[in-house]
Structure 1
Amino acid sequence: MIATDVVKCEVPAHSEDCPLQRRAVSAASAAALPSSVPVLRRHARDEARRWDLSEEVQESLTLVVSELVTNVVLHSASPDVTLLLKLGPGVLTVTVRDNGQWSTPAGMGVREDADCFGRGFTLIEAVTTRLTVARTRTGNWVTAELDLPLEVGGRSPTGGAWPAESSLPE
């Protein structure tokens, strides 16, 4: 598979009338190369838009995907990387899986430019509600959860449009 190829599998969303109750799954795999980072980031954003998630969630999602896929490219020596997105009631779960072993490349230990490197998990923790890392002999799994706001695509949790501000009682 070339680096820009994305293999994806999808389960469609259900309960279109109530966005917070929708469920959907999307997966994409690519070679663990630097050129795959923007490909998987774009895939994640496209899915978030299709699922009608807020711009804020889309921004957080693309940050999480960028950081996690970059970590695979830099640290795992895996030939490939898999991204799994799961939309559930009130939460978006992002899982990145590789088939490598975690390591720090030569020269990436203590760096003078620490402001540019080594802050990925800190950034991810700032925009997610849960971050889990599992390292095994056969690879690594990193899962991050993003809480969804009450408003998704301009709709209330019950599926009806939010009332116009001018129609709300004072």
Structure 2
Amino acid sequence: MTAQLDVVVPEADEHVCPLPHIPEAVSVVRRRVRTVLADWNLTPDLAEDALLVISELITNAVVHALPPAVLRLSRGGAGGRSALRVEVTDAGPAAANRGAGADPPPDEQRRGVYTLPPPSAECGPLVPPRGTTCWAELLAA
């Protein structure tokens, strides 16, 4: 099965991509995002770090969350340094394989987001009124 992506590009410094809720989502989105990052002229190190973070966040959304999910990239910078913000928003934790009202195991509560960024990054979860957003901000070295 090949995933088809409808991409919304609100402005030049932002890229929004709905995520197919299938295991192949990571490779499909990585290919598309690699092109976006190249078009944005990010440093190779920042682009590779971003692809790693994006892969982990998408995997977490596909494996541990309910659809729909969306990837949002935005670029900026301050003081001559490039910065990239990565956000994956999903419909909230999937309750499969858990009893009603059971809390997820501690190692799944954050879905791995705190272990993925390089030292030049910040990350965390946001809990909007509906769903979950995991984000990371990466700075070029």
| Equivalent position to 2:140, from 148, 152, 168 | 148
Shift of the alpha carbon at 1:67? 0.3
User: Cα gap change, 1:69/1:25 in structure 2, threshold over 3 Å: closer, same or farther?
Assistant: same
How does the TM-score come out when normalised to structure 2? 0.76
Distance, in Å, in 2 between the alignment partners of 1:136 and 1:88 is 23
CA distances 1:39-87 after superposition (whole Å, capped 9, x unpaired) = 11222211110111111111111100110000011111x1222000001
| Equivalent position to 1:87, from 59, 69, 75 | 75
Indicate conservation of the 8 Å contact 2:120/2:138, yes or no: yes
Residue 59 of structure 1 aligns with an amino acid whose one-letter code is E
| Equivalent position to 1:72, from 61, 64, 74 | 61
| Residue aligned with 1:133, SS | strand
Report whether the alignment pairs 1:135 with 2:127.
Answer: yes
Counterpart in 2 of 1:125?
117
How does the TM-score come out when normalised to structure 1? 0.65
Question: Quick one: percent identity of the two aligned structures?
Answer: 26
| Equivalent position to 2:91, from 82, 89, 99 | 99
Indicate conservation of the 8 Å contact 1:101/1:137, yes or no: no
User: Cα gap change, 1:4/1:92 in structure 2, threshold over 3 Å: closer, same or farther?
Assistant: same
Shift of the alpha carbon at 1:94? 0.4
Distance, in Å, in 2 between the alignment partners of 1:119 and 1:97 is 13
Counterpart in 2 of 1:158?
none
Residue 118 of structure 2 aligns with an amino acid whose one-letter code is A
Residue 8 of structure 1 aligns with an amino acid whose one-letter code is V
Larger Rg: 1
How many residues align structurally?
129
Shift of the alpha carbon at 1:95? 0.5
Gaps of 5+ in 2: 99-104
